[in-house]
Amino acid sequence: MRSVDPRDIRKWDENHRAASARVQRESALHPLTTNEAFDAALALLVLDEQLNGPPFGRFDPVSEREDEQVREAWLKLRARWPRGR
């Protein structure tokens, strides 16, 4: 396992806090209406699909690994069942 430099974590935390503060300032200065927020969310979904393809057809290594673990567990369980049933 790779070790993480604590300085990198501190820098990430500083950047995250600065970004959060900026978002709060911008939200207070330029609040969105409900329709504007909804339109912005839809625009982000469209952008994500343009960049990454359809969301339901994407390769997901975590889901693939979990599916394989389920198959292995099922095979182990099934191997213990009597064949006469």
Could you give the CA distance from residue 5 to residue 13 in angstroms, rounded to a whole number? 13
The residue-averaged pLDDT of 29-43 equals 96
Kindly report the pTM of this predicted structure: 0.48
Instruction: Name the band, by pLDDT with cuts 50, 70 and 90, for residue 55.
Output: confident
Alpha helices in the chain (DSSP H): 6-29, 34-52, 61-79
For position 14, what pLDDT does the model report? 97
Domain spans, the chain: 6-79
DSSP 57: G
The residue-averaged pLDDT of 39-45 equals 96
For position 81, what pLDDT does the model report? 85
For position 26, what pLDDT does the model report? 94
Residue pointed to by tokens 């330029």: 30
Could you give the CA distance from residue 9 to residue 31 in angstroms, rounded to a whole number? 31
